[in-house]
Structure 1
Amino acid sequence: MKFVAALLLSSAALIGAPSAYAATPNVVVSIKPIHSLVASIMQGVAEPKLIVEGAASPHTYNMKPSNAAALQKADLIFWIGHGMESFLEKPLEALGSNANVVTLEDAPGLTKLKFREGGVFEPEAEEEGHDHAAGAEEAHDDGDHDHDGNDVHLWLDPMNAKAMAIEIEKRLVQADPEHAAAYQANGAALIKKIEALDGELKTTLAPVQNKPFIVFHDAYQYFEHRYGVKVAGSITVSPETMPGAERVKEIHQKVEELGATCVFAEPQFEPKLVKVVTEGSKAKSGVLDPEAGALKEGPDLYFEMMRGIAKNLNDCLSKGA
């Protein structure tokens, strides 16, 4: 009897004991780069749920039943906003109505850049009417920019990632004050890591500043602005809309004019167009991954993604020196 009584008391104690995950909010995050920041701040407390997993792209994503279930259970949802994850707009209204939805494109302290149209990003081309005409087929596409006409690839400037991390920490503390100290300590550590990363990337990219290159889609404006690299044009403005013959012709001509440069594909999308625009030129090809489609999610992903972009740019553009 003593043994049975002791066992019952022990079981009751275990049931009543708080776990590391007890009383924490259910947190859902839209895309990998943002999930990485949230996961960093939540380390040791709980793990946020990711919507766009694996190699999927937010530009072409279709919701799964498991995503819908996660949104229904969510207490706190982080996303960039309407311009990036347009597939989430209706599900958030229908399924996430009980959650606190944090739109990170509204975070204080962000640097915002206007969305660009057309395939060649040069002022003189736009003044001549050439740039706008080339991009007319995509000028009204809502992908990749918010309703104020701003580019929403905000995380590709580490200082924007820092501003978003501050907002993420604040919202987590509000939602879960019991673990405020952990969120604040993790947030402070994350800020230091982002600042160190910024200095590292400046060193990596200094030798290839102002060497023009072509990208698959116009995702890199914030990276350019921060590090002085020079994207001369994109094959498509948004992967949701494939380029027409005029756009491809224009980019092909630009590649030839630039001489030995680089054209970068992305791992989530068909690379055939890259071959078309480099055909007959001296241009080399590479891969950039601005949405981390090829990387495993988690706290380290943001840093791996940013270092990967810088390294691949340096590797390809240095060969053309």
Structure 2
Amino acid sequence: MNTLLRSLCLPWLLVPAFAAAEVPAVAVDIPPVHSLVDRVMGELGSPDLVIQPGASPHGYAMRPSEAEALAHADAVFWVSDALTPWLAGARESLADEALKVALMETAGTRQLAYRQGAALEIHAHDDHDHGHSHSHEGMDPHGWLDPVNAQAWLEAIAESLADLDPANADVYRRNASKGQAELETLVDELNDRLADARDARFIVFHDAYQYFETRFDVQALGAISLGDASDPSPARIRAIQDHVAELGVQCVFREPQFSPALVKSVFEGTGVETSLVIDPLGVDLPLNADLYPQLLRQLADGVVRCASEA
């Protein structure tokens, strides 16, 4: 009797494991992209993160477990090779058969050119909706900080996963649609929160926030480092110091993954508030679907706190 029961139950016991195996294995580059993919996958699964929280995406040495995640991926989502140039070779060698999606290249993504100079002048401005391939020399790759871009990316992620996993296509698309509606509400929330902080006068550690600034009509007055987080030259530091008094800077935002010593040395004795911390990656946030909206709320909170320093 026990043998008969086991033989009858065994096929049913195997169904969940088989169904789980049908869900694509997914690898992503940074925590905000992980959050968006996690939102789309929902209860079906979660992606593997290649660049761990707290690390700079501009330069990174993968661990064996992260290389293994790439090697086993059915799909790889990343922002842009402009953000992670080191990832291109690993991606091609380890995930050569995976579906690969550079999110900054997907339809509906707003692209902005890198800004230049300590005062963040914009050169060769390139602001457009993108639906075709061409050279993007000088493109600022921090596009995830515009939630309207994230809405487009949710759709691109859902459609990519739907192609790989037609059985769950409706789930991916439904989750993406819910995520887009949540981001629509978030945009209204942050616009309300920032309404009285538009005149905040701040400098950022590195020029990573242009998309957030443009979407919410706030403006960094300068950046200590360029958008690739490279070390600033002495001339750039002097230019930043000159701007402090000239522009009435209220505060400078530090980033948790970089030493505060540089910020302190640049602004010591100026009276500028240097204790505020913002982060384009959500370093201190739990790695889940809520990370992305919480990251944008943190940025808005930082600007509001800076405005209160007036």
After superposing the two structures, state which structure 1 stretch, 196-205 or 13-22, moved more. Answer: 13-22
Shift of 1:33: 0.7
Shift of 1:240: 4.4
Match of 2:3 in 1: 4
Selected match of 2:202 from 194, 197, 213: 213
Selected match of 2:248 from 253, 256, 259: 259
- CA distance in structure 2 between the aligned counterparts of 1:166 and 1:242, rounded to whole angstroms: 36
Shift of 1:7: 2.2
- CA distance in structure 1 between the aligned counterparts of 2:81 and 2:159, rounded to whole angstroms: 22
- CA distance in structure 2 between the aligned counterparts of 1:165 and 1:35, rounded to whole angstroms: 11
Match of 2:175 in 1: 186
**Alpha carbons 2:154, 2:176 under 8 Å: kept:** yes
User: Does residue 154 of structure 1 match 2:143?
Assistant: yes
Shift of 1:16: 4.4
**Alpha carbons 1:202, 1:227 under 8 Å: kept:** yes
- CA distance in structure 2 between the aligned counterparts of 1:14 and 1:155, rounded to whole angstroms: 41
Partner amino acid, structure 2, of 1:222 = Y
* CA deviation map 1:137-195 (0-9, x unaligned): xxxxxxxxx84211111011111111111111111111111001111111110000000
Shift of 1:277: 2.1
* CA deviation map 1:242-299 (0-9, x unaligned): 1121111111111122335110010111111111222121211211111112222110
**Alpha carbons 2:201, 2:248 under 8 Å: kept:** no
After superposing the two structures, state which structure 1 stretch, 55-64 or 11-20, moved more. Answer: 11-20
Matches within 5 A, 1:72-91: 72-91=71-90
Partner amino acid, structure 2, of 1:257 = E
**Secondary structure, aligned partner of 1:319:** coil
- CA distance in structure 1 between the aligned counterparts of 2:181 and 2:208, rounded to whole angstroms: 25
Match of 1:200 in 2: 189
Matches within 5 A, 1:168-179: 168-179=157-168
Match of 2:298 in 1: 308
Unaligned runs of 5+ in 2: 124-134
Shift of 1:45: 1.1
Match of 2:212 in 1: 223
Question: What percentage of residue pairs aligned between the two structures are identical?
Answer: 38
Shift of 1:28: 0.8
* CA deviation map 1:194-249 (0-9, x unaligned): 00010111111111113321000000111111111111110000454211211111
Taking only aligned residues, the RMSD between alpha carbons, in angstroms, comes to 1.7
- CA distance in structure 1 between the aligned counterparts of 2:166 and 2:216, rounded to whole angstroms: 37
**Secondary structure, aligned partner of 1:6:** helix
**Alpha carbons 1:82, 1:89 under 8 Å: kept:** yes
Q: TM-score, normalised by structure 1?
A: 0.88
User: Does residue 116 of structure 1 match 2:115?
Assistant: yes
Match of 2:286 in 1: 296
**Secondary structure, aligned partner of 1:42:** helix
**Secondary structure, aligned partner of 2:302:** helix
- CA distance in structure 2 between the aligned counterparts of 1:283 and 1:258, rounded to whole angstroms: 12
Partner amino acid, structure 1, of 2:294 = E
Shift of 1:17: 5.0
User: Does residue 243 of structure 1 match 2:242?
Assistant: no
**Alpha carbons 1:55, 1:293 under 8 Å: kept:** yes
Partner amino acid, structure 2, of 1:150 = M
**Alpha carbons 2:32, 2:291 under 8 Å: kept:** yes
Match of 1:106 in 2: 105
**Secondary structure, aligned partner of 1:98:** coil
- CA distance in structure 1 between the aligned counterparts of 2:173 and 2:238, rounded to whole angstroms: 51
The runs of at least 4 consecutive aligned structure 1 residues that moved more than 4 Å come to 16-20
Distance 1:122 1:91, change over 3 A: closer
- CA distance in structure 2 between the aligned counterparts of 1:74 and 1:17, rounded to whole angstroms: 21
Q: In the comparison of the two structures, how many residue pairs are matched?
A: 298
**Secondary structure, aligned partner of 1:111:** strand
- CA distance in structure 1 between the aligned counterparts of 2:248 and 2:220, rounded to whole angstroms: 14
**Alpha carbons 1:120, 1:233 under 8 Å: kept:** yes
Q: TM-score, normalised by structure 2?
A: 0.91
Match of 2:33 in 1: 34
**Alpha carbons 1:213, 1:261 under 8 Å: kept:** yes
